Amino acid sequence: IQRAFSRGKPSAVALSVNSPGGSPTQSSLIASRIRRLADEKDIKVYSFVEDVAASGGYYIAAAADEIWVDRHSIVGSIGVISASFGLDQFIERHGIERRVYTAGKSKSMLDPFRPEKAEDVERLKELQEHIHSGFIDHVKSRRGDRLDRERDLFTGDIWVGDGALPTGLIDGIGHLVPKMKEIFGDKVQFKVYAQKRPFLSRFGASLAGDALSEVEARAAFSRFGV
C-alpha cells in the first residue's frame, strides 16, 4: 500500500478487491492506512471488486472514493459473525472429563467443551454489536449521501452487481483497466503492486500452513457461492 501511494506521482490508486472478509481489526487497519495515505498525498482511490467484497472485504473497499464492480460481483454482508461447535455432549459420551483452571470468571467464556451459558451468549452479542456499530459508522462516513437512507443496509445482507447500485454501496459497473482509461485517457500507465510470494512457492513448493490458509480461504469464499 505504501509503495502504491509513494512511487512516482500517481494520479490515482486503484484497489483490486476480492475478499469474503476476515478480522475486523485487520480490515480497519488496512482501510485506515489507505485513507491516511490518500489524504496525506491528495490521491483519489478507486476500488474494483472481483468475485466478492463482503464483510471485511467491503470494509476495505469502502476506504476508496468510488467502488466499481462486475455485474456478478457480490458486495455487502455488513455484519459480524461468530461460529463454533458445542462438544460437551460428545466428550461426555466418550468418558472425557474437561478440566479448566482460570483466574477471572469470564476467562473460559463460550468454552465449546462445556454447556453453553446464557450469560456468555449475551456477552458475545454485546461485543458483536460494538464491532457492528463501528462497521456501520465506517460505511456511513465513506459512502455518505450516496446511501439509501430508506433501507436497512446493515443486516448482513448481500447484493449482486448492479443490484447493489440503488443501495448506494457501489458507484456502478466497471472494470479496472477500461474504467481507468475512461477517466484518465487511453495512454494511462499502470504499475501493479501485490503481496510478494514466499520464495519456495515460486518453485511450486508450499508449507502446511499455506495449505491450511488456502482451505480456510476457500471455505470463506464458498459461503457466497464462489
The whole-number mean pLDDT for each consecutive block of 10 residues of the chain, a chain of 226 residues, reads: 90 96 95 97 97 97 98 96 92 92 90 93 96 97 95 96 96 96 94 72 52 56 57
pLDDT value of residue 27: 96
pLDDT value of residue 171: 97
Domain boundaries defined on the chain: 2-80+130-194, 197-226
pLDDT value of residue 216: 57
pLDDT value of residue 111: 92
pLDDT value of residue 148: 96
2-80+130-194 is a CATH 3.30.1490.100 domain:
no
pTM summary value? 0.85
DSSP secondary structure string for all residues of the chain: -HHHHHSS--SEEEEEEEE----HHHHHHHHHHHHHHHHHHT-EEEEEEEEEEETHHHHHHTTSSEEEE-TT-EEE--S--------HHHHHHTTPPP----SSTTTTTT-TTS---HHHHHHHHHHHHHHHHHHHHHHHHHHGGGS-TTS---SS-EEEGGGGGGGTS--EE--HHHHHHHHH-TT-------PPPPTGGGGT---HHHHHHHHHHHHHHHTTT-
pLDDT value of residue 129: 97
